[in-house]
Chain A
Amino acid sequence: MDWKNEEGYKVLFNAYYNVLCNYAYKILQNDMDAEDVVIEVFVHFWTNKDKIKVEEGKLKSYLFSSVKNKAFELIRSGKIREKHNQYYSDIMAANADDSSLDEDLFLIREALKRSLRHLSPKTKEVYLLRTQNGLTFAEIAAALNINRRTAENHMANAIKKLRELVKENMKIYNS
């Protein structure tokens, strides 16, 4: 992805803004701080685009690491109110191998969220009831007044479509 011109940077921004805000939120637990940190990282990348050389395929990691570092820096600076300090120091201690901050999982969630917009309402509903709410097919069938086999078919259909859509939506993160 050529991100060093204005058009390319906008594509980069659109692709990453939401997922990075979610990532920062995971650390900061506050929407405003999350958005501030992400915007600051984007401003920094743009302002220093002539000096920053990103290795092939490493852009994604640089963005996530920058957001993570910036977020932890904000916590260390003591701008976050005290009663959450323990919570944050716990996160920081666990940070080294914290799978809850796995960037690839965040990218899959972002791609899934974008992909869901392309499913039919019923298929989407069955998918969410099964994965988010943890309902069994029998429960879904009862809730939606369809038979169990139909619920299973909706789900299989959802996953088949989502596999393709997620692959498509993930392309930009691997370029």
Chain B
Amino acid sequence: MDIQEVILKVLNKKDAAAEYEQLKVWKAETEDNLKIYQEINNIVEQGNHLKDYKEYDVESGYARFKNQISDSTNGWIKYAVAGFILCIGAFYLINNSSKTTTEEITPQIYQAENTIKPFDLKDGSTITMNTGAVVTEMTDFTKIRQVALSGEAFFDIQPDKSRPFRVKLDDDLFVEVLGTSFNIINTENEFNITVESGHVELKTLGRTISLYKGDAVKLHEDTLVKYKQKTSNHLSWMKKELTFKNAPITAVLDDVSAHFETSFDVSSKVANSDCNLSSTFNTESLQQIMVELSKMVELSFTKEKDGSYIIEDIRCK
């Protein structure tokens, strides 16, 4: 049998018993035959496992390694009692050490103040917290920059390949970046991430969602859903500005209600209208904006006692 024939018989051995018998005889003939058979079989069998075989970023792994060895106060050394480990095998040493992969520090906790303004982390990154937000530093930033967030905050992260920046959102839900800016809402009722620049990875157990500028993710019925942002007003809480460029009225109402944390009950006529408008609101109150809108698209509305609005009618100009 030539190699080509052997290969085809290996491939077909499951389908044809006669082929398999021939192959068994052939591989028993010489040691070389057996070796060739094993090599071919490995290439065929292991090919099936390649779909689960991942490609990790070796370069950033090496950068992280370099960063960690330059930190000479590393606790490893004290475990490596001199003269103790010779030929026994290094893994015993590792097994005996009780150091875990996350650095333990006394957490530094930041709470949102009344005025919304950015604050600096020790790596030069800045975080701006919305009312009620809490950010906790979980590591000392020497190996990995990790914080936890509850509430809403905007992150502008200093690039550093050797020290990824992670935001922990839940037990197994992380955002990981190398240097970029993004906004996160992480509350009991709402989960949302929007990316302003660079590349953000949202990681849950066994799954990674890659996000680039303009991408967003929200939680919809317990499933993470990726979508494109329609307007840039998700940062209005920070910029104190709502901007619309030829935006559909429904998008305008969505953004205004989100900004003022109120709700609009919209009639089907309004919901289905194709009115678009362009405008910028800075310091106006909700009432002022509503009046402005009623001038622009003849919006008629009623304000309810609980502060919500019923939007009844509309006419595009």
Contact = CB atoms under 8 A, between A and B. Distances in A.
B150 to A, nearest CB: 18
B47 A128 contact: yes
Nearest to A132: B51
A51 B203 CA distance: 38
Contacts of A84: 205
Contacts of A81: 171-172
B58 interface: yes
B56 A43 contact: no
Contacts of B203: 31-32
B105 interface: no
Contact of A30 (B53, B90, B206): B206
B102 interface: yes
B82 A51 contact: yes
Interface in A30-66: 30-48, 51-55, 58, 62, 65-66
Given A39-B64, A44-B94, A159 B44 contact: yes
Interface in B81-108: 82-83, 85-87, 89-91, 93-95, 98, 100-102
Contacts of A79: 100-102
B58 A17 contact: yes
Contacts of B115: none
A86 interface: no
Interface in B149-193: 166, 171-172, 174, 176
A163 B4 CA distance: 12
Contacts of B227: none
Given A37-B101, A69-B95, A113 B55 contact: yes
A151 B64 CA distance: 44
A155 B7 contact: yes
A132 B206 contact: no
B80 A51 contact: yes
Contacts of B93: 44, 48
A131 B42 CA distance: 11
A70 B58 contact: no
Nearest to A104: B42
Interface in A103-142: 105, 108-110, 112-113, 116, 127-128, 130-132, 134, 136
B48 A44 contact: no
Contact of B39 (A33, A65, A155, A163): A163
A167 B105 CA distance: 47
B74 interface: yes
Contacts, number: 172
B92 to A, nearest CB: 8
Given A33-B101, A66-B90, A69-B94, A160 B3 contact: yes
A106 B74 CA distance: 30
B62 interface: yes
A74 B101 CA distance: 7
Interface in B1-58: 3-4, 7-8, 11, 15, 39-40, 42-51, 53-56, 58
B56 A35 contact: yes
Given A21-B54, A109-B50, A159 B40 contact: yes
A43 B8 contact: no
Nearest to A127: B47
B90 A52 contact: yes
A145 interface: no
A18 B58 contact: yes
Interface in A9-26: 10, 13-14, 17-18, 21-22, 25
Contacts of B15: 136
Nearest to A68: B91
Given A36-B101, A48-B76, 5 more contacts: A30-B172, A35-B56, A51-B86, A73-B95, A130-B47
18 contacts: A14-B58, A17-B58, A18-B54, A29-B206, A36-B102, A48-B80, A69-B95, A70-B95, A70-B101, A73-B100, A79-B102, A109-B50, A110-B53, A128-B50, A130-B47, A131-B50, A156-B4, A163-B43
Interface of A: 10, 13-14, 17-18, 21-22, 25, 29-48, 51-55, 58, 62, 65-66, 68-70, 73-74, 77, 79, 81, 84, 105, 108-110, 112-113, 116, 127-128, 130-132, 134, 136, 152, 155-156, 159-160, 162-163, 166-167
